Amino acid sequence: MSKKKSTTAIRTLARRHLTWETAKAYAFILIGALIQAISMRLFLIPSKLVSGGISGLAQLVNYYTGWPVGLMILLGNAPLFIIGWHYLGGPRFALRTAISVTAFALFTDLLVFFLPTGGITDDIVLNTLYGGIILGIGLGLVYRGQGTSGGSDILARILNHRFGISISQAYLVTDSLVVLAAGFVFGWTLALYALVMIYVSGVAAELASEGSNVFRAAMIITDETQKVSEAILVDMDRGVTILQGTGAYTKKDRPVLYCVVTISETHQLKAIVHEIDPDAFMVIGHAHEALGEGFKPLKKP
């Protein structure tokens, strides 16, 4: 291949991957990671409020050993990331998760040189509310960048795939265990405040990402039905139902894809559909509750 053709191929590849949307997604991830780190340094660590998941465990380890919280977050996520690579929605989304976790860990340790180590207030209620809201905003921005925060996100997907535990239950188990451990270390009063903080951060993450509901129901009309459905099944490991529809104007039969995803997977779903068929028609609605495989188990009321 000539030098000119080689250069042209490289430029084409760069244009394909380094788009404005990709740059914006990475910006969301980095800004979100920074905001999460600010919440940790200003509110959660000084007040001994564990944030759940790996970052919460990192706080406990730091309390006993003095080892940097960010370093513990990075080391704690590494084995989960390796094990959970298959469940992170393909290399592109796994890469974004890796960047999110690494940036969060680095910012958490670097901010210790720029922010007051004792935080900005001793009021536990203010630390709980502001820490939760700011942490949630950071998480929401990471979700908008089609990444995850690692830790509980990865572990929840592993538990869901390996043992059939729903995503929501997996989050509950992992965060509850960390808060339980914090109760023995920091006291039960702070553990109860940590539960409130985790709830507040969850609400803030939903609002910052895309709205107030947890689940999204999507209907997709595309000329690339097979490719889109396979991508959702393989890359996101989410179920897809193909409904039979008829165009009112054309009178032609048109298959309609229907699937339900979590709020953190919404942007990933839109990215997949856009990449395969930019001309697809897509409707995403709020789902009040999702019951069945991958979500909460369907039980008799």
Q: Percent of the chain at pLDDT above 90?
A: 48
CA distances to 42, 160, 168, 294, 295 from 155, in Å = 27, 8, 12, 14, 15
Pairing of strands 281-287, 215-221: antiparallel
Identify the pLDDT of residue 214.
Answer: 66
Do residues 147 and 173 share a domain?
A: yes
Confidence of residue 167 (pLDDT cuts 50, 70, 90): low
The boundaries of the domain holding residue 178 are 3-209
Model confidence, pTM: 0.71
Confidence of residue 4 (pLDDT cuts 50, 70, 90): low
Do residues 38 and 171 share a domain?
A: yes
Tens of pLDDT, residues 83-125: 777 766 667 677 888 899 999 999 999 999 999 989 999 999 9
Do residues 95 and 241 share a domain?
A: no
Identify the pLDDT of residue 300.
Answer: 56
Exposed/middle/buried for residue 249 (C-beta within 10 Å: 0-12, 13-18, 19+) = exposed
In a domain, 298, yes or no: no
In a domain, 300, yes or no: no
In a domain, 296, yes or no: no
In a domain, 232, yes or no: yes
158 or 41: whose pLDDT is higher?
41
Confidence of residue 13 (pLDDT cuts 50, 70, 90): very low
In a domain, 160, yes or no: yes
Tens of pLDDT, residues 30-71: 999 999 999 999 999 999 999 888 999 999 999 999 999 999
In a domain, 297, yes or no: no
Confidence of residue 171 (pLDDT cuts 50, 70, 90): confident
Q: H-helix or E-strand containing 78?
A: helix 69-84
Do residues 17 and 108 share a domain?
A: yes
Do residues 227 and 136 share a domain?
A: no
Do residues 203 and 236 share a domain?
A: no
Do residues 238 and 131 share a domain?
A: no
Do residues 195 and 94 share a domain?
A: yes
Region of residue 146 (left: phi > 0; alpha: psi -120 to 50; beta: else): left
Q: What's the CA gap between 216 and 79, in Å, rounded?
A: 30
Give phi and psi for 162, each to the nearest 5.
Answer: -80, -35
In a domain, 28, yes or no: yes
Q: How many domains does the chain have?
A: 2
Do residues 15 and 161 share a domain?
A: yes
Do residues 95 and 237 share a domain?
A: no
Do residues 239 and 164 share a domain?
A: no
Domain boundary residue, one of 209, 244, 269 = 209
Least confident of 118-132, 265-279, 284-298: 284-298
Q: What's the CA gap between 132 and 138, in Å, rounded?
A: 10
12 or 218: whose pLDDT is higher?
218
pLDDT above 90: residue 224? yes
Q: Tell me, what CATH number does 250's domain have?
A: 3.30.70.120
Q: What is the DSSP string of 205-267?
A: HHHHHT-S-SEEEEEEE-S-HHHHHHHIIIII----EEEEEE-TTT--EEEEEEEEEEGGGHH
Domain boundary residue, one of 209, 240, 271 = 209
Domain boundary residue, one of 209, 238, 271 = 209
Q: What's the CA gap between 116 and 112, in Å, rounded?
A: 7
Do residues 229 and 195 share a domain?
A: no
In a domain, 92, yes or no: yes
